[in-house]
Chains A and B, each alone.
Chain A
Amino acid sequence: MRLAFVLAEIGGGLRRNLSMVVSVILVTFVSLTFVGAAGMLQMQINQMKGFWYDKVQVAIFLCVDTSTSPTCAGGPATEEQKQNIQTMLDAPAVKQYVTSWTYESQDDALKHFREQFANSPIVDSVTADQLPASFRVNMVDPEKYQIINESFAATPGVETVIDQRQLLERLFSVMNVASLVAVGIAGLMIICAILLIATTIRLSAFSRRRETGIMRLVGASKMVIQLPFVLEGVIAAVIGASLASVTLWTVGKFFIEDYLADQYKDTAFISANQVLILVPGLLLLGILLSGVSSLLTLRKYLKV
């Protein structure tokens, strides 16, 4: 009976404040979508780390015609210099840090380049002698990149030593910044959501002050008086969180899984199902922020 009563009260409240309730739904929807987007970016970063870290290599690029570094003073790398690097890689001082290495000739480099930019007109104007040959070194511990750098950077015939992991780190830091921006926007939107929920409840409490006044007088418990208001906010926030979850899943399914993963086959992307992990968190966050803001508001406007 009391439950039916509380439910009827909530229904009445939602109808009375429909436009406010809709705005609460929308603002929680948008803010939680940003929270979820930040979560998805972090998941994507982790996914890529796991996928790339054991594949990344340190690349030792050899001199070509156009190289300007002092170690390339003698023009393109000679066969002799190449042999020398090979010997150094197999010497115990370096070998202990290396699991394996491969040599990528200028022709191999051109082939990879053509694959990578298959649709671009630039392909036709690039020739093999413009692309550097390289040694691709797999490290036992990718953190020990400096050892390769120190050993080879000054070796004649080597133009530069590049840690691919650093390239990845740069990508990750861009993604991290993006997720921080998303979190920042989410934070602002959450503040909006909290204020809006507080205002909604205040209006609701005001429009129902007659009822609540009578409820107080006849000795209704604090819970019976306040619960309809709290649940009103919680229901709106849960609807907003659900919309955010559906949106994120849709992005995961149709943008990431069906489009990105198809376009960039050699990159690992998160799946739509992984996005579902975020759903309970978003619902919880929605409930939490509406619950907290309604409790704070009610304490002030609905004394028992």
Chain B
Amino acid sequence: MIRFDNVTKVYDQKSRPALDSISLEIDRGEFAFLVGASGSGKSTFLRLVLKEDRATRGSVYVAGQNVANIPSWRVPRLRRGIGVVFQDFRLLPNKTVFANVAFAMQVLGRSRGVIRETVPEVLKTVGLEGKENRLPHELSGGEQQRVAIARAVVNKPAILLADEPTGNLDPTTSMEIMNVLDKINQNNTTVVMATHDDDIVNGMRKRVIELRNGIVLRDEARALYTSMIPVVDGSDSGNGFRNPAGTSAGEVDK
């Protein structure tokens, strides 16, 4: 579904590349975490998928198509196939929950009837029934993020990209958001989530792609935030003890 082939992204000639010869593939229907410290290149990875930025070297394939070959007038069509969620929700403050989600359909010219049918369905999926007429400032952070997720998936994209969606939320709310993302993933949507929240990663036991300084440090299936293979590195080894905590966090999943 998403394939990076020796992708390098250089923003600034003077500093190191944000991504450095990355090669990896994420399959249809997969759930992958992109982890790493701030500045490790997670957001850059997601921007390249969206063709918000252009790879300096190498090729990015989305749904089998090299995004470098998509002419600019076809980029909107690429983005229709990809939903995006951010840490800061990015809702329209003067539109209701319903209108925020409907907005994503209106701009694509969907008919009023289809919108009236689809939006409540999606709001139900993310657990916001009964809150259609609230304004964003009348919602908790977790609820606002649900609206953002509903908006991202209302046009049924094949891919959902989430850039630190739980970054502004407390742990319990974060877990609830993860449940929503997991549910969307079960409906066969490929989900790629950038995060540096170890509890969340440990609770999900999904594929983990760890970046450091633009390089893939690790790419493991059903993994934890830190490697289960002991690394001879003073600062990292201590994290190994978090594994039990990760297991208990997994119970929230139920």
Contact = CB atoms under 8 A, between A and B. Distances in A.
B109 A218 contact: no
B108 A214 contact: no
Contact of B90 (A1, A214, A219, A304): A214
Given A1-B112, A2-B109, A304-B75, A218 B92 contact: no
Contact of B104 (A1, A210, A218): A218
Interface string A192-216: 0000000000000000001101111
B151 interface: yes
Among B72, B79, B90, B92, chain A packs the most CB atoms within 10 A around the CB of: B79
Interface string A210-241: 11011111111110110000000000000000
Nearest to B79: A219
Nearest to A303: B72
A157 B22 CA distance: 105
A213 B84 CA distance: 12
A218 B72 contact: no
B248 interface: no
Contacts of A103: none
A214 B104 contact: yes
Nearest to B77: A219
Contacts, number: 59
Interface residues of A, number: 18
A5 interface: yes
Among B83, B103, B152, chain A packs the most CB atoms within 10 A around the CB of: B103
Contact of A5 (B78, B80, B107): B107
A216 B109 CA distance: 14
B109 A215 contact: no
A218 B75 contact: no
A215 B76 CA distance: 9
Contacts of A5: 106-107, 109
B73 interface: yes
A218 B112 contact: no
B104 A222 contact: no
B80 A1 contact: no
Contact of A210 (B78, B90, B109, B151): B90
Interface string B90-117: 1010000000000110111111100000
A224 B90 contact: no
Contact of B80 (A211, A213, A214, A219): A219
Nearest to B154: A218
B155 interface: yes
Interface string B209-239: 0000000000000000000000000000000
A219 B76 contact: yes
Contact of B107 (A210, A215, A304): A215
Given A218-B80, A218-B104, A211 B75 contact: no
Nearest to B84: A217
A239 to B, nearest CB: 27
A53 to B, nearest CB: 57
Contacts of B103: 211, 214, 218
Among B81, B107, B112, chain A packs the most CB atoms within 10 A around the CB of: B107
Interface in B148-169: 151-152, 155
Interface in B22-60: 50
Contacts of A221: 73, 76
Contacts of B112: 1
17 contacts: A1-B110, A2-B106, A5-B106, A5-B107, A5-B109, A214-B92, A214-B103, A217-B79, A218-B107, A218-B151, A219-B77, A219-B81, A219-B108, A220-B76, A221-B73, A225-B107, A304-B72
Given A2-B109, A5-B106, A220-B107, 19 more contacts: A1-B110, A5-B107, A5-B109, A210-B92, A214-B90, A216-B79, A217-B79, A218-B80, A218-B83, A218-B107, A218-B108, A218-B152, A218-B155, A219-B155, A224-B107, A224-B109, A225-B107, A304-B72, A304-B76
Interface of A: 1-2, 5, 210-211, 213-222, 224-225, 304
Q: Which 3 A-B pairs have the closest CB atoms?
A: A219-B80, A2-B109, A219-B79
